[in-house]
Structure 1
Amino acid sequence: MKYTKTAFVLLILCTMGLWFQSCKTAETAAKEKTAEVQPQDKKAAAQKTEPQKVMEKSPEDEEYSRSTSALSGTAVTFDEFQRDKTTILAIIQDLDKSMKNRDYGLWRSYLTPESISYWSNKFNLQVIATKLPKKGLTLRTLGDYFSHVFIPSRMDRKVSEIRYISPTDVKAVEVDGNKDIIYYEFEKINGRWLVKLPIL
């Protein structure tokens, strides 16, 4: 088959045109595919780089966590914690009054029966007397314990939080940085919070 010079040139140009068109079509398709994928990739990348938002606890929630950290599960609800704390701090205010006024009767009314029995024992009073900073004191009664042990160790102390040991056993503390200074222990007996004095 013979081609004229002009026909041959046309054939070459057509072939190049078809090739150029197919390249252009492939390039357009690749761009379209990239355009489709890119927004999703950008979104995914943005999600990866965006910092996770952490829910911040309120001061009340943080205190509740500190106060109930020794308990397992939800043994004490937030509302129960609030009620117990309010009751215990009110009792401590009464104890402060009893110390300032030297009101032994008011103080004694807040003690657990076990505490009254233990610190009415003369042997225990003699032992604690030897550990007091003021030497030569003789403790004979629970009233002596109130005057010479309880008042000096707790007068004007700033108790601000409580710590559960169990749902019916609580320590009242002053928070000093990361440290808790324990001033009182309370025990719930027949629905009433009472002061549990430390024993030897």
Structure 2
Amino acid sequence: MKVKFIFLVALGVLFVSCKTTEKAAQTAVQPAAKSKGTETVQKIEIAEDAEYSRSVSALSGTKVSYDDFQRDKAAILTVIADLDKSMKNRDYNLWRSYLTPGSISYWNNKFNLQVIATKLPKKGLTLRNLGDYFTHVFIPSRIDRKVNEIRYIAPSEVKAVEVQDNKDIIYYEFEKIDGRWLVKLPTL
């Protein structure tokens, strides 16, 4: 009985000491984690400030607030996600719903389609309508591209870019019409 009692006491001491050590280790690690987290947050804030500065640098005379920049970027990235879905699913109607009226009008013009067809890598291709433009021009030039920043041209006009080696690769131009960001297709 004495042996059982001593064994239980020793087991209890061992259990309590391990738990205490575990708590001490957690306490010692936590301040370091908080410090590291604060440092990470500061680095993110600096990067976001630099991105904001790059994004609004072309604006002259007008300002876009940081909050507006954040909202616009989020909205544009959402549109780009839908455009990616439309390309992967070849969903012309979804894609068309994100085009500016001017883009639809311009690229429905048969002359413009004929001119762009001559500039495509695939020779002899005939573009008859906006659906052909979607299939043969838009999708090949933008599918699986990664947009990570925006650049304001004006408060209601933005270029969506991928930054590579300090260079902007422009994949989309957007125009805000009636509160919606719509794709403004490039013209000849």
TM-score band (shorter)? 0.7 to 0.9
How does 1:86-125 map onto structure 2 within 5 Å? 86-125=74-113
1:70 aligns with 2:58: yes
CA RMSD of aligned residues (A): 1.5
Aligned AA (1:188): K
1:159 aligns with 2:147: yes
1:192 aligns with 2:180: yes
Query: TM-score, normalization: structure 1?
Result: 0.71
1:177 alignment counterpart: 165
4+ runs deviating over 6 angstroms: none
Once residues 152 and 82 of structure 1 are traced to their aligned partners in structure 2, the CA distance between those partners, rounded to angstroms, is 29
Deviation at 1:72, TM superposition (A): 2.8
Identical pairs, percent: 80
1:141 alignment counterpart: 129
More helix by share: 2
Q: Secondary structure at the residue paired with 1:164?
A: strand
Once residues 138 and 73 of structure 1 are traced to their aligned partners in structure 2, the CA distance between those partners, rounded to angstroms, is 44
In structure 1, list runs of 5 or more residues that go unmatched: 1-55
1:132-174 per-position Cα deviation (integer Å, ceiling 9, x unaligned):
0000100000000000000000010010000000001100000
Once residues 79 and 157 of structure 1 are traced to their aligned partners in structure 2, the CA distance between those partners, rounded to angstroms, is 26
Deviation at 1:75, TM superposition (A): 1.1
Once residues 89 and 177 of structure 2 are traced to their aligned partners in structure 1, the CA distance between those partners, rounded to angstroms, is 27
Instruction: State which structure, 1 or 2, has the greater radius of gyration over its C-alpha atoms.
Output: 1
Once residues 169 and 108 of structure 1 are traced to their aligned partners in structure 2, the CA distance between those partners, rounded to angstroms, is 19
Aligned AA (1:102): R
Once residues 80 and 139 of structure 1 are traced to their aligned partners in structure 2, the CA distance between those partners, rounded to angstroms, is 39
- Kindly tell me the number of residue pairs found equivalent between the two proteins: 146
1:45 alignment counterpart: none
